[in-house]
Amino acid sequence: MTRQTDVVVIGGGQAGLAAGYHLRRQGVDFVILDAQTTPGGAWQHAWDSLHLFSPAAYSSLPGRPMPVQVGEVYPGAGHVVEYLAAYEQRYHLPVVRPVRARGVHRDGAFLRVESDSGTWRAQAVISATGTWWRPFLPAVPGRADFAGRQLHTVEYRSPAHFAGQRVVVVGGGNSGAQIAADLACNTELTWVTQRPPRFLADDIDGRALFDVATARRRALESGQTDTGGVASLGDIVAVPPVRAARDAGLLKAQPMFTRLTPDGVEWADGTRAEAHAVIWCTGFRPALSHLAPLGLRGPRGHIPTLGTRSVAEPRLHLLGYGDWTGSASATLIGVGHPAREAAQQSAALVR
C-alpha cells in the first residue's frame, strides 16, 4: 500500500522531533518514521553513567524547555529519553514505530520512501537518522588477531562488566574521555589517543560551546570571517567525572599503538600492554544508506548541502548529522534552527 503525505521525516530522535515541531507550525501534513520501538533516539542506548555536557536549560528543543533533573546539574541520558517522549506527546507528533526506511527514490514530482512497513510518497523528505547507528572503527593492523573483547562506544554500558580487567580505551574525544573516566577506578586502564588530549577549560561546558557555535553561524550568515567554531577551544568537555579522574591522575593518555597482538596492543618501539578488552571510542559516520538510491554521495560520505538542503536534490533535507548540516545541528539545543529552515523550505515546496 502506498500512502501520500506532504513531507516524510525519516528518524524520530531529537532532530526528527524538532523538524516535526516546525512542520506542525507550517501547517503541512507529515509523518515521522522511526526505526526504534520506543521514543528517545540514540539516547536510549547510551552507557549508564552518560550525562549531558550542558545543563537542562541549554539542552532544549524548540518550544518546550527541558525540565531540570532533580539533584543533577547535567541531566542523565534517561532524563533526555523522558523529555523526548514527553515532547512528542505534547505536540502530538505523528511518529510511526517501528518503521525502517529502506530507500528513498525519485518518483516524478514526488519522492517515494520505501520501508519495511510499506511505502510513502511525499513532496519533500527530511532525513534525520543520526550517526549512532554507524559506528566507525579504524583499520589497525592485527585487529582480527586480538583474542580479547573488542567493542565500540555504542556497545559499552558500565564498568561493572570490566571489573579488575585490563582495558584499553581508544579515542581522545568526549566519549573516549568519559568512558576512560568511568573505567579508571576499577580496571587496569590504558587510555590511548591519536594526539595529546585537549581538555577545555574547566569552566567551559555546553553553554559556552553553544554560544561559540551561534557566534560562528551569525558571522558566516553575515559574510564575516569564520570565527573557528568550537573545535578551536579543545575536544573534551571537563564534565565532573572526567575532571575528577583527570585531577586524581587517572587519565594519563598514551600515544596510539601501531598494532593489536593476540593478547593486547603494541607500540612502534616494541612496548606492549596486555588487554582483556579494547573499547573503540573512535566516532561515527552519518547513517545515510537509505538515501543511496538518489545517488547523492559526495566527499567523506557526506551529501553536499546548502544549509540543510541537498544541492542536487532540493526536495531532500538533511538534519542533525553535524556541522555540515547546520552549526551545532547534532546537539539538542542546536538542532532547532536548522530544523526550522528544513521545515520552512519543505513546506514551501508543498504550497
List interacting residues with ligand FAD (CB under 6 A). 10-16, 33-36, 41-43, 52-54, 59, 100-101, 128-130, 132-133, 174-175, 206, 287, 290, 320, 330-332
Residue corresponding to grid cell 510511526: 96
Q: How far is the CB of 286 from ligand FAD (least distance, A)?
A: 9
Q: Which of 136, 132, 144, 162 is nearest to 35 (CA)?
A: 132
Q: How far is the CB of 16 from ligand FAD (least distance, A)?
A: 6
Burial class (CB in 10 A: 0-12, 13-18, 19+), 102: middle
Length of the chain in residues, anyone?
Answer: 351
Q: How far is the CB of 228 from ligand FAD (least distance, A)?
A: 20
Q: Which of 239, 198, 226, 236 is nearest to 323 (CA)?
A: 226
Q: How far apart are the first and last CA of the chain?
A: 25
Contact 205, 53 (CB under 8 A): yes
3-state secondary structure of 204: coil
Q: How far is the CB of 63 from ligand FAD (least distance, A)?
A: 16
Q: How far is the CB of 167 from ligand FAD (least distance, A)?
A: 18
Measure the CA–CA gap between 93 and 128, rounded to whole angstroms. 15
Contacts of 138 (CB under 8 A, 6+ apart): 280, 282
Closer CB to ligand FAD, 146 or 284, in the complex: 284
Ramachandran class of 285: left when φ > 0, alpha when ψ lies in -120 to 50, beta otherwise:
beta
Closer CB to ligand FAD, 59 or 282, in the complex: 59
Closer CB to ligand FAD, 15 or 278, in the complex: 15
Closer CB to ligand FAD, 54 or 193, in the complex: 54
Q: How far is the CB of 75 from ligand FAD (least distance, A)?
A: 9
Q: Are strands 253-255 and 264-266 parallel, antiparallel or unpaired?
A: unpaired
Closer CB to ligand FAD, 35 or 192, in the complex: 35
Contact 128, 16 (CB under 8 A): yes
Q: How far is the CB of 171 from ligand FAD (least distance, A)?
A: 11
Measure the CA–CA gap between 29 and 270, rounded to whole angstroms. 62
Closer CB to ligand FAD, 179 or 265, in the complex: 179
Q: How far is the CB of 19 from ligand FAD (least distance, A)?
A: 9
Residue corresponding to grid cell 551529501: 303
Closer CB to ligand FAD, 26 or 59, in the complex: 59
Residue nearest to ligand FAD (CB): 13
Closer CB to ligand FAD, 138 or 255, in the complex: 138
Q: Which of 27, 55, 100 is nearest to 239 (CA)?
A: 55
